[in-house]
Amino acid sequence: MPGVFGLRAYYEDWVNSTSRFIGYGLIGLQHRGQESFGIVTAYDSKFKVYKCQKQARDAFDERKLGRIPGCVGIGAVSIYKEKNRKNVQPIIENGLALAYDGRFQLEDGAREFARMLGKELERNQPEQAGANAIEKVSGGYAFCALTKDGTIIFGRDKRGVKPLSHVGLGFDNGLVSSETCAFNVVGSKSPPQYVEPGECYAISRYSKKKCKVETNDRKLCAFECVYLANILSKLDGFAISAVRRRIGKRLAEKYPVSADIVVGVPETARPFALAYSNATGIPVEEGFARILGERSAIKPTQFEREVGVQLKLNPIREVTARKNVIVIDDSVVRGTTVRKTFKFMRDYCGVKDLHLLVGSPKIVARCPYGTEVPGEDELIARHLSDREIAEAIGADSIGFLTVEDLADCIGISLEELCTGCFTGKYQGED
């Protein structure tokens, strides 16, 4: 879930601008982690480090970042609060800085990966070193590493579970990011490029090289497309805004419910509701008011998640009273939030029928690649049938997508999609 970002400047006059640009890139990835913000640059063959356990927008400090020099650097935002500052991403291990998203299937995780990469770097060109490490290490991950001499090495696991893209910023910079929306934030206008599964790049001041591990497998994380990624982004070339509108349209085709209005749960489900409305002619309304702009589902504790949800999910009585309402959400995990919200809407907002449509398949399993899903005993869809779920949350009807629907909406074949959290099957995993 974390977001990684890297910048290599080709001209020396970027020395006082690089860290701030990385900072803005990370603000562009804030939706992937709000608990920590870290930047490491390489300057004069040393690392310069700025870390702050706040969300990117608050951690960003023009003055402090202005004091982190360098023409090359990497950064990360993460969903994890760390007791030890050393574990805030990017981590530094054995003279290598590493920002990563996902999980390395290694006993000591990311640190072990960094050590392996460091060893490979001793006897290989950097892109080859990265590819060798990818070859050896299973899991679902995207990483962006930095050497002290200023080479950025970035790549994706052999199945490309986690997204990673790269682009140029004018003639001045090479950029790498978990999501392309961060490129927009720092002003790049070039079409983004996508790192292929098993592919590794190395950018130094004088070269950009790539190396690819032989693999024909692709398993892009489906949850990224439904929920995690920003609507401005393209993942592996799939425009998320188009995917989300197709999901809304698909819901309209599958579940043509008779209702007065359709409402999307902010933020992710709003385009679903818009597309549902366009397809059915049922007016779309803004039925919930947000008090805080935070992302609730990626808060670290259940309490913080609920605070977050309730601050952003304030039903607006004037919109829903005396109406038959379709509420569209992006996912149902425990069902607790939607149950509380529906109860509030019935008790205090005077709604008539209340239908729930979900823009994803049922979540039934944990993710081994770091997407935070609660324990399996807590997942409502793992234990109850559709009818029972509707009963439990107080909906008059409920509808989910299937994984086939989802693949269709993304425009990818089902085989190329990791749908483990919806099926419990993590294909290809050793």
Partner 1 sequence: MKILLLGDGAREHAIGHGLRKSLTTPELYCLGAHRNPGLLRLAKEFATGNVEDPKDVLECAIKFGADYVVAGPEAVNFAGVPDALEREGIPCFGAKKCLAEIERSKVLLRRIMQKEGIPGRIRYLAFKNKDEAEAYAKLNPENIVFKPPGQVGGKGVRLVEGDKVYLTSATEGIKKSAAETAEKFGNPLGLEEKVLIEERIFGPEFTAHFFCDGNTFVATPLVQDNKHAFDGMEGPETGGMGSVAGPGMHLPFITDEDTQKTREIVEKTIRAIQKVASEKYRGVVAGQMILGTGYWDVPLEFYSRFGDPEGVNVINMLNIEEGASLEEIFSATISGKLNTLKIKFRPVASVVKAFAPDGYPLSKELAQNHPLVVDEAKILKKGCSVFYGSVDSQNGQMITKGSRGLEIYAEAENLPEASSSIEAVASCISLSDGWRVFHRSDIGTEQLLKQWMEIAEDAREASRRREAKGLLYKRVDFIPGRGKIEYEI
Q: Which of 3, 14, 1, 2 is CA-nearest to residue 174? A: 14
| Residue 58 or 253 having the CB closest to partner 1 | 58
Is residue 13 part of the contact set for partner 1 (CB under 8 A)? yes
Which residue is associated with the tokens 């935002």?
A: 77
Is residue 10 part of the contact set for partner 1 (CB under 8 A)? yes
| Residue 191 or 350 having the CB closest to partner 1 | 191
**Burial zone of 138 (CB within 10 Å; 0-12 exposed, 13-18 middle, 19+ buried):** middle
CB 313 within 8 A of CB 286: no
Backbone angles phi, psi at 369, to 5 degrees: -110, 20
* Shortest distance (Å) from residue 186 CB to partner 1: 7
Sign of CA dihedral 272, 279, 237, 220: positive
CB 411 within 8 A of CB 235: no
Tokens of 128: 């080859």
* Shortest distance (Å) from residue 46 CB to partner 1: 21
Tokens of 112: 């072990």
Task: State the alpha helices, DSSP H only, in 171-269.
Answer: 181-185, 222-223, 240-254
Is residue 411 part of the contact set for partner 1 (CB under 8 A)? no
Is residue 183 part of the contact set for partner 1 (CB under 8 A)? no
| Residue 186 or 373 having the CB closest to partner 1 | 186
CB 141 within 8 A of CB 160: no
* Shortest distance (Å) from residue 118 CB to partner 1: 22
Q: Which regions of 246-295 does DSSP assign to beta strands (E)? A: 261-264, 284-285, 288-289
Is residue 170 part of the contact set for partner 1 (CB under 8 A)? yes
| Residue 18 or 296 having the CB closest to partner 1 | 18
Site map (CB under 8 A) of partner 1, residues 208-227, x = contact: xxx-----------------
| Residue 205 or 290 having the CB closest to partner 1 | 205
Total residues in contact with partner 1, by rule CB under 8 A? 31
Q: Which position among 85, 189, 382, 425 is part of the footprint of partner 1 (CB under 8 A)?
A: 189
| Residue 82 or 172 having the CB closest to partner 1 | 172
| Residue 194 or 422 having the CB closest to partner 1 | 194
Q: In the complex, which residues of this chain contact partner 1 (CB under 8 A)?
A: 10-11, 13-17, 20-21, 24, 62, 166-168, 170-172, 174, 185-187, 189-191, 193, 205-210
